[in-house]
Structure 1
Amino acid sequence: MDSNTDLHKTQLLERMKQRTEDLAAKAEERKIQRDISAAENENAEYFHCAFSEMKEHVEKKIQRIDEIEKQNLRDYFDDLIKDIHAVQRFLNESSMFLAAFKIKKAQEDVTDLNKIVQSKMEEIQPKKRFGFRSKKNTEKGAAEIKKRLPKEEVDGKDSNKSALDKILERQFFGFNNEVGKHLTKSAEEVNNRQLNLVNLRDCRVEALGNPASLQIASLVDCTVILGPASRSAFIKECHNCTFVLACQQVRIHDTKNSNFYLHVTGAAIIENCSKVRFAPYTLNYDLLSEHFALSGLNQSVNYWDKIEDFKWLNENEASPNWSVLKEKERVFDWLNPKFKK
């Protein structure tokens, strides 16, 4: 009788322990999802502000079409199409961080703007004296303008920044479309701002400060060295890169053959990644402790090797998509000139 009672107690305790562990796991999963949602909301707010301002700018220009002198209509439509092209480009670059329904709504807005402009152009095109003709008279109307626009952008003939470029500059902070450069931001510049790194190739980026959050996309053969960020880091479509970063939570998508020297106090998540390796954050510089204090991150807590692979569902086997970078292969002196491009 006593042995049965003891067995019953043991089984009861085991069930209680298992239930406690399950509840803890579910609570941690909910926390991760809350962190992800908060970061996505932050990114969506940034996009919404810039996109709304750009869209309003184009709408105001459309409303002024009837006020434009006839001899200036060609250039005016030229600029309008260029503006819509800029809005589309901004949407394409931002879509990696947006929910599907937000992308769909924004794309509908861009399509509507384009339809309105094309309709206005077709109204005016038949009037020969206002025709859209090139110097060689090879193309007419909207087709000519749309064909000519990309060539002008590629050739760099339009050196003046458009109003939409200025809007993007106000909203976008960081670096984009650079090749083979050493890019730096000071602590004063990055502090409490979202840092964006987009479309970089063969670049070295240094930003030793306390950014609010990080958005990184489409980097190839780059080295990125960053001070501690207060909130999230989103990284997507990077190949053959090295990242040295600290943040509350990091989410890495569609990235290959890259190393991460990581300090993360919350969740570290990968999805659709392969051959990514992780090591602890080894960056050291004079103001690092001060920047950690500004970030609010706990410098003594680092889950750099607790990686959640959302595409690996086998709980009994380690994910083959990531590994720990061997200590003998790690870099410690990141600011030594020999490591700089």
Structure 2
Amino acid sequence: MTESNLKETFYRQFHQDVATLQRQIESLSSTSTSGGERNQAIDDCLAGIDRLSHDVQDASSLLPAYDQRTYSETIKKLSEKLSSVRNSFDPPKKFSFKNRKKDIVKPEVTPGISSATPSLPSEPTPPSQHQETMQQDPSTSALSHKSHAHITLPPTPHATSSPTVSHLTHCIVDLSAPTKANAPFAALYLRSITSSLIITGQVAGAIHITDVSNSVIVTACRQFRMHGSKHVDVYLHSTSRPIFEDCEGLRFAPLPRVYATPEIDQSANQWDQIDDFKWLKAEPSPHFNILPEAERVSDEVWNKRIPGDDESLDDTLKAVNVR
């Protein structure tokens, strides 16, 4: 992929991400405040803006200074728009001075929207070391810090949600139920995952994958972005060209039929039109391959063994070639 093509690809993806964030920000006013749903949606917008900033930084070696300033100004305007919308929900308090000797004003903190990513305790509880199956709360912002767990989501609508799945070891995470209920995620973030199977279901926007290794990912999305990952098999349906950078040992295959929906079937699929963002040579990138058909997980495994009702977690992971 030539440098000019990389710049064009980055331009296209950047503006698609901006358009997605603008829609998310504009929808905040109609998002319910119950159960912290609006606060979570604001967190998702903050995370998306933060991701855009990192994308521009990662591409700085390819972008002229003028383009970098233009992208940064666009991100700044997004942040200002989000701040304006947030203030319309909860206008800043007006302070007035009173004739009192000791009048201490403590700053207010709005819960749940202080940062782009969910905060973690200073000393996290060690992850569980036993096999468990759970129905995770659909409003949870992050499915994090688990080991040897089988996690599923109930079919609750998630159309405005952009969850984060992070810090997992030797786990199975199945998020496909909302897709079957016709409620895809707005976006999805996968971070710091090792030796696991992640089934995302349908993502209406972008899936961002960072620091994943020795794992299998099954996803249908509009945009696929992967950073700093290695030895990952990706079963993919993407309506735009998948992009990765700073990765190695990736293998791509089409989405298994069991996870396809009529909507997915009707959309374009560019699962095999993959761009290595930092590979500028004429020959194909050595950092990814198409997964040979003989090595792909069979339909029987996806249909019968992945639900895991009669299988141990270890056996299921072996069945999908988690290394």
* Within-5 A mapping of 1:151-230: 172-208=140-176, 209=179, 210-230=184-204
Distance 2:307 2:279 in 1: 34
TM-score (norm. length: structure 2): 0.55
Are 2:245 and 1:271 aligned? yes
- Gap change, CA 1:261 and 1:305, over 3 Å in 2: same
* Cα distance in 2, alignment partners of residues 234 and 183 from structure 1: 20
Q: Distance in 2 between matches of 1:322 and 1:45?
A: 31
| Structure 1 residue matching 2:214: 3-state secondary structure | coil
Q: What is the alpha-carbon distance in structure 2 between the residues aligned to residue 173 and residue 154 of structure 1?
A: 18
Unmatched runs of 5 consecutive residues or more in structure 2: 25-42, 50-78, 91-101, 105-110, 128-136, 314-323
Aligned residues: 217
Match of 2:273 in 1: 306
Q: Paired residue for 1:281?
A: 255
- Tell me which residue corresponds to 2:210: 236
Quick check: 1:34 aligned with 2:15?
A: yes
C-alpha contact 1:179 1:202 (8 A) present in aligned 2: yes
Residue 246 in 1 paired to residue 223 in 2?
A: no
Contact 1:190 1:207 in 2 (8 A): no
Correspondence for 2:290 = 324
Residues 150 and 216 of structure 1, relative CA distance in 2, 3 Å threshold: closer
Q: Distance in 2 between matches of 1:204 and 1:314?
A: 37
**TM-aligned CA deviation for residue 289 of structure 1:** 2.1
Identity of aligned residues (%): 26
Q: CA–CA distance in 2 between the matches of 1:256 and 1:34?
A: 27
Aligned residue number for residue 259 of structure 1: 233
Q: What's the RMSD between the two structures over aligned residues?
A: 4.1
Per-residue Cα deviation, 1:121-174 (whole angstroms, up to 9, x for no partner):
xxxxxxxxxxxxxxxxxxxxxxxxxxxx957x6599xxxxxxxxxxxx998534
Q: Deviations over 1:170-218 (max 9, x none)?
A: 9853411111111001232534421321111111011122212111100
User: Shift in Å at residue 273 of structure 1?
Assistant: 0.2
1:46 touches 1:171 (CA, 8 Å); kept in 2? Answer: no
Kindly tell me: are residues 300 and 191 of structure 1, through their superposed partners in 2, closer, same or farther at Cα, counting changes over 3 Å?
Answer: closer
Q: Structure 1 CA distance, aligned partners of 2:160 and 2:172?
A: 22
Asked whether the equivalents of residues 220 and 236 of structure 2 are also in contact (C-alpha less than 8 Å), the reply is: yes
Alpha-carbon deviation of 1:320?
A: 0.4
Could you say if the C-alpha distance between residues 155 and 25 of structure 1 is closer, same or farther in structure 2, counting changes exceeding 3 Å? closer
Give distance in 2, aligned partners of 1:252 and 1:188: 27
Distance 1:150 1:192 in 2: 29
1:66-111 deviation digits (Å, cap 9, x = unpaired): 999xxxxxxxxxxxxxx9xxx7895788xxxxxxxxxxxxxxxxxx
Structure 2 CA distance for partners of 1:228 and 1:32, relative to 1, 3 Å: same
SS of 1:32 mapped into structure 2:
helix
Q: Offset at 1:241? A: 0.8
Output the amino acid matched with 2:261: S
Equivalent residue runs for 1:42-61 within 5 Å: 45-47=45-47
8 Å contact kept, 1:217–1:238: yes
Q: How far, CA to CA, are the matches of 1:150 and 1:228 in structure 2?
A: 33
Q: Quick one: distance in 1 between partners of 2:103 and 2:193?
A: 44
Question: Cα deviation per residue 1:230-278 (whole Å; 9 max; x = unaligned)?
Answer: 1110000001110000100110000000010000001310010000110
Q: Would you tell me which structure has more helix in proportion to its own residues?
A: 1
Quote the Cα distance in structure 1 between the aligned partners of 2:188 and 2:122: 30
Runs of 4+ with >3 A deviation: 23-30, 36-44, 46-49, 87-93, 153-156, 169-172, 189-192, 297-300
Asked if the contact 2:223–2:241 (Cα under 8 Å) also holds between the matched residues in 1, the reply is yes
Secondary structure of the corresponding residue to residue 230 of structure 1: strand
Distance 1:40 1:199 in 2: 25
Rg (Cα) greater in structure: 1
Query: 1:229 Cα deviation (Å)?
Result: 1.2
Q: Which amino acid aligns with 2:295?
A: E
TM-score, length basis structure 1: 0.53
> Structure 1 regions of 5+ residues with no counterpart?
1-22, 57-65, 69-82, 94-148, 157-168
- Displacement of 1:25 in angstroms is 9.5
